[in-house]
Structure 1
Amino acid sequence: MVDSQHFTDAAADYSRLAPHLWDRIGADAVAAAGPQPGERVLDACSGIGSSALPAAAAVGADGRVDAVDLAGGLLDALRQRVSKRRLDQVRTHQADVLEFGQPGEYDLVQCVLGIMFFPNFTAGSRQLVTRLRPGGRLMLAVWDHGVMADIGMRAFHSIQRVRGEKLPDPAYAKSARENDEPDGADADARADDASDTAAGETDGDTVAGDKAGLSFDQIDTQDAFGPWMEDLGLIDVTVTVQERNLELDDELAWLVITGSGFRSMLSGMSDEQIEEVRADLLAGLHLDGFTSLNTSTLVGIGHRPE
């Protein structure tokens, strides 16, 4: 997990990036989930409210949205947005969402780009399912496979050069390498792995229903995400790819690093070093003509059985 302090530190940059990225992703995901007037919604890992706010607008004054996040700085930004839009149906809570709420309390539980930060993303997602009333629905949005990995690795390599030391590869390194390989066998293997897990295949080290070593890049494809969600105990699962691209200038390219979870890579660096990283990253993007970032997401929706 990324320390919540990194997100608090990034709150201003999250807010600056939001109109270009986070709010678009949140609005698209919430539109797919279709909150109805008067419904109760749990918005998990709310951040600055990119999914909580459109949900609140949809449920109206008779509904309720509980927006939960560990990062106080992001919630402060959300509260300002709530006040500006007069969405009194939003209640903010600085808490661990996996320990928040009561069983069967919500019509809709939604988590946009958050489950990858759970200590165990399958166990955590199952915990979200318990918060649904019978017949309620869970909406999960995640990055499509490999999305964001390329720019993340570029920033990682810039950091290595500035620090002059070899660092352990980040979790998305494998996805970045796969982006340079032909499609086919790797994608099929990921789908097979997720299907096996959904079918209940386990080994001696299984934790909370996950196969030992199950990694996020084994479920983040349209074919694999559905079976994994069914294994959470959901029915009538649908998964759609919401395709989008972000056209980059220098400001937006750097905001993608400082206004996201990537910011944690800069921890412990001086202002001078961070400026060197920024210059090195942007120089590489210019050299390679990297001007458009794929920001596509998978949106999965499933229902808790009646």
Structure 2
Amino acid sequence: MSDLGSTFDEARQEFARLTTAVWAPAGQSLVFQLGLRPGDAVLDVCCGAGSSAIPAAAAVGQSGLVHAVDLADELLEQGRLNASERGLQNIEFVCADATEWEPPSTVPQLGYDGLACSYGVFFLPHMDAAFTRLAGLVRPGGKIGITVWRRGAVCEFADTFLDAVARHGERSIGPAGAAFDILERMDTPDRLHQWLAGLGAHATEVRELSNIIPATPEFAWDAVLGGPLRGALSSFDAHTIEAIRRDFLELLTDRAIHDIDAGTLVGTATTNEPNAT
């Protein structure tokens, strides 16, 4: 398993507690914007516990199917439990490398009808090439869609946490750090439009999802432990992690950071027909 997959596996409990406030609103918005219909076949990559895959399964109904792919076994198991609680039998959670995914025989010959990736595209190695390949698994005229953090979102919060980490050691979140640099290429509506069009898609649509969440001490620490920021703590012992937690919460107070900006861009596009220009 990749280091990133292991980080998210360790984050299962906190990740789940973030779902209602963070992951679910974006996932539901993405599925709505994709315009999925009953009977559609959908591929959801970097699916986590199913924030977009589960509403996609509900949208396509029993005549449709969803393949939800991720490297984090623990999150996939949570997704299976979530789907079971909703009585969804048309979704399969698969532990696999999305960059090497090949559609099984249950997928129509022309390909998937939709591709979804919520808060995950920037974690794909060689992002442009990887996502272009995944988009190629979608039939001509099908839909592709992603969610990404809007420019400025979570930055003040993340910087404050890393400042607390720097008091005790290296100010780094490990392999996930590169994702934040890549994100700059698509963190405004114009840039996301351009990025989607650069994949060879058309009819791009980008909507902004505002999401301001109170930074209570409990939620703020869950937001650290439930995502890639957790990687910054991997080299510290429990005593030091507790010291970092205290310093972080004190810095939030000192800097009058009372909310977390989880603003998100939801971008979709249509794959080109063979004769499209």
After TM superposition, the score normalised by the length of structure 2 is: 0.90
Deviations 1:209-232 (A, max 9, x none): xxxxx9431322111111111110
Contact conserved, 2:8 with 2:72, CA < 8 A, in 1? yes
Residues 1:18 and 2:24 are matched in the alignment? no
Deviations 1:227-249 (A, max 9, x none): 11111010111111111111121
Letter of the 2:152 partner, please give it.
Answer: G
Contact conserved, 1:148 with 1:294, CA < 8 A, in 2? yes
Q: By how many angstroms is 1:167 displaced?
A: 3.8
Q: By how many angstroms is 1:289 displaced?
A: 1.9
Deviations 1:71-105 (A, max 9, x none): 10110111111111110011111001111133842
Identity across the alignment (%): 32
Residues 1:31 and 2:37 are matched in the alignment? no
Q: Where in structure 1 are there 5+ consecutive unaligned residues?
A: 176-213
Superposition pairs of residues 120-139 of structure 1, within 5 angstroms: 120-139=126-145
Against the structure 1 CA distance between its residues 293 and 167, is the aligned structure 2 distance closer, same or farther, given a 3 Å change threshold? Answer: closer
**Aligned twin of 2:106:** none
Q: Where in structure 2 are there 5+ consecutive unaligned residues?
A: 104-108
Q: By how many angstroms is 1:5 displaced?
A: 0.4
Superposition pairs of residues 26-175 of structure 1, within 5 angstroms: 26-102=27-103, 104-163=110-169, 166-167=170-171
Against the structure 1 CA distance between its residues 41 and 231, is the aligned structure 2 distance closer, same or farther, given a 3 Å change threshold? Answer: same
Letter of the 1:156 partner, please give it.
Answer: L
Length, aligned pairs only: 265
After TM superposition, the score normalised by the length of structure 1 is: 0.82
**What CA RMSD, in Å, does the superposition of the two structures yield over aligned residues?**
2.0
Cα distance between partner residues in 1 of 2:34 and 2:210 = 17
Q: By how many angstroms is 1:3 displaced?
A: 2.2
Against the structure 1 CA distance between its residues 22 and 168, is the aligned structure 2 distance closer, same or farther, given a 3 Å change threshold? Answer: closer
Q: By how many angstroms is 1:300 displaced?
A: 1.1
**Aligned twin of 1:196:** none
Deviates more, 1:146-155 or 1:87-96: 146-155
Letter of the 1:140 partner, please give it.
Answer: I
Against the structure 1 CA distance between its residues 302 and 2, is the aligned structure 2 distance closer, same or farther, given a 3 Å change threshold? Answer: farther
Against the structure 1 CA distance between its residues 303 and 266, is the aligned structure 2 distance closer, same or farther, given a 3 Å change threshold? Answer: same
Against the structure 1 CA distance between its residues 54 and 153, is the aligned structure 2 distance closer, same or farther, given a 3 Å change threshold? Answer: same
The DSSP-based 3-state class of the residue aligned with 1:127 is helix
Deviations 1:29-71 (A, max 9, x none): 2122121111101011110111111111111111101000011
Contact conserved, 1:149 with 1:172, CA < 8 A, in 2? no
The DSSP-based 3-state class of the residue aligned with 1:289 is coil
